[in-house]
Amino acid sequence: MTTIYIVRHGQSHGNVDVVLREGDPHLTDIGKDQIKEVAKKLIHVHFDAIFSSDLTRAIQTAKIINLKRKLILKTTQVLRERNFGSFYKNKNREEIKMMLEQLKAQIYTLPQEEFWKYKMIDDMESEEEAVSRFITALREIAVAYDDKTVLVIGHGNIMRSFLTHLGFATFRELPSGSVKNAGYIRLESDGVDFFLKEMVSITKKTVI
């Protein structure tokens, strides 16, 4: 078995202002402090490798946790957040807010099987597409680091999709915000299956 810790990045400027999500937002000062606290919690965990999404907020998170470990940080696009395509492009705050409310209203009425394939716009990545690449990456890590412990820095939405895929909860029980900034999952994997061992700052809350 490989032990994998999946940590969500700290608060970013995109979490504070939805308009900034179109770019590659950095961590806020609050976000940096959140990750420093996680680093303290995990200080006694021996990591053999560190992987991160190649987005800035994830890389900053990885570097804070890796500060005293000095491991080589491996970054990859396959650990990125779900790709929303042009969803945020060239829209102001009110337009994005309206579209997000519309998206939430639509997806929470869908049967689970339709939820996985749903796209509000054509160039948006579906939950199924996003979680498929994420799981493939985790399996490759588990095979490459058999019997070792690995840190993976990722994003909230894709972590929710992953937990839903594993049957931990339905998508209605893990709405947006269920995985807090700096929240994390500890699991074990044999390269095929995943076994949840611990979840920190992840909360179920059913949406009707």
Q: Determine if the pTM surpasses 0.85.
A: yes
pLDDT of residue 205: 77
pLDDT of residue 208: 54
Could you list the mean pLDDT of each consecutive 10-residue stretch along the chain, which spans 208 residues? 98 94 94 98 97 98 95 97 91 89 84 89 94 98 98 97 94 90 98 97 78
CATH architecture designation of domain 2-81+128-202: 3-Layer(aba) Sandwich (3.40)
- DSSP sequence for the chain: -EEEEEEE---BHHHH-GGGGGS-PPBPHHHHHHHHHHHHHTTT---SEEEEESSHHHHHHHHHHTTTT-PPEEEEGGGSPPP-TTTTTT--HHHHHHHHHHHHHHHTTS-HHHHHH--SSTTSPPHHHHHHHHHHHHHHHHHHTTTSEEEEEE-HHHHHHHHHHTTSS-TTTS-TTSEEEEEEEEEEESSS-EEEEEEEEE------
